[in-house]
Amino acid sequence: MTTPALFDVQTGERAGRTDRPSEDRILSTPSGDAVVVLDGVSTLSDDKPRGGWYAETLGRLLIDRLTTGADAELPEILHDAIAEITRAYGLSPGASPAATVSIVRVRGQQVEAAVLGDSPVVVIGHDGYEDVHTDTRLATLVESWPQAALYRRRLADGTGFDDQHRQLLRELRDEQMAWINEPGGYWVAEAVPEAGHQARTASWPLADVAQILIATDGVSSAVDDYRLYTWPKIAAACRTKGGPQAVVDDVHLIEQRDPNGRAFPRYKLSDDKVLASLAPVRSDE
């Protein structure tokens, strides 16, 4: 008998700071046929970070649904999980912690993905084909605001992560909050279940897929912003002895060697990081 396809999953994780735990999470179904990566975001008013709690709690709700609701579409699964966490904990839009969500699963002869926020799913084909599946709605908005160009210019000039830098980030956050989970804005898992239906979806024939990467933006910045890696190079590095953890540690070390953000202008010294490398496998009995 042929058993369903599942994933051989290798992971790397690292907190961005030593004084607080990572708010990124990675979870998988017991059977190994689905993986969820979340990047938690705390509210500015939180006395302690709740983004990690939100990511963990929502992630477990998603895993429960992916385990028992194999026939449901991924956006519907995400919608229902956001609705449950919102209802169970009395969360309110605009005052709730949030998370990006990326889901990958095998269903039949297809690999399916749903992405909500800036944690990309990257598919590498057996022939070297590369498909980056991501959600750029927030990034497109941020790039249209003058604070984004200004904070990068200041960092490049050597000002460091000073008080004015933090003020610019607060202004960017205020701008973002006016557009969160709104048509024409951007969507993220928070306290608006409709966000689940707004996830970007894609699928690929299982037979064509050699490897899948899922990364939070603490890792994807090394490709998109720092230009230090390409996705095929990260994929190859994940297949070496050090695996995804070596990639995560390398990105973190590069940031630590640029303590003022001058070489690589960014929001903060180091972000939390998660990188998962998935290889579809099938066992025959």
Report whether 176 contacts 169 (CB < 8 A): no
- Whole-number CA gyration radius for the chain: 19
Q: CA-CA distance, 51 to 42, in Å (whole number)? A: 4
Q: Which fold has domain 6-280?
A: Phosphatase 2c; domain 1 (3.60.40)
Half-sphere exposure of 228 (CA within 13 A, CB side): 17
Task: Give the dihedral sign, CA 85/116/179/183.
Answer: negative
Task: Tokens for 233, please give them.
Answer: 């190079």
Q: CA-CA distance, 276 to 285, in Å (whole number)? A: 28
pTM: 0.94
Q: pLDDT value at position 48?
A: 62
Task: Tokens for 15, please give them.
Answer: 């907190």
Q: pLDDT value at position 204?
A: 97
Cα dihedral 178, 182, 187, 192, rounded to 10, equals 100
Tell me the domain boundaries of the chain.
6-280
* Helical H segments across 90-162, by residue range: 137-143, 146-156
Block means of pLDDT (10 residues each) for the chain, 285 residues, are: 74 94 95 95 69 96 90 95 97 94 95 97 94 96 95 96 96 93 96 98 96 97 95 96 97 97 95 96 60
Q: Return the closest-CA partner of residue 247 out of 257, 261, 233.
A: 233
pLDDT in tens, 104-148: 999 999 999 999 999 999 999 999 899 999 999 999 999 999 999
Q: pLDDT value at position 47?
A: 60
Q: pLDDT value at position 1?
A: 40
Q: pLDDT value at position 128?
A: 87
**Rounded (5°) CA angle 176-50-260:** 60
Quote the DSSP letter at residue 61: H
Angle between helices 217-224 and 243-256 (to 10 degrees): 70
pLDDT in tens, 223-246: 999 999 999 999 999 999 999 999
Report whether 174 contacts 192 (CB < 8 A): no
Burial class (CB in 10 A: 0-12, 13-18, 19+), 61: buried
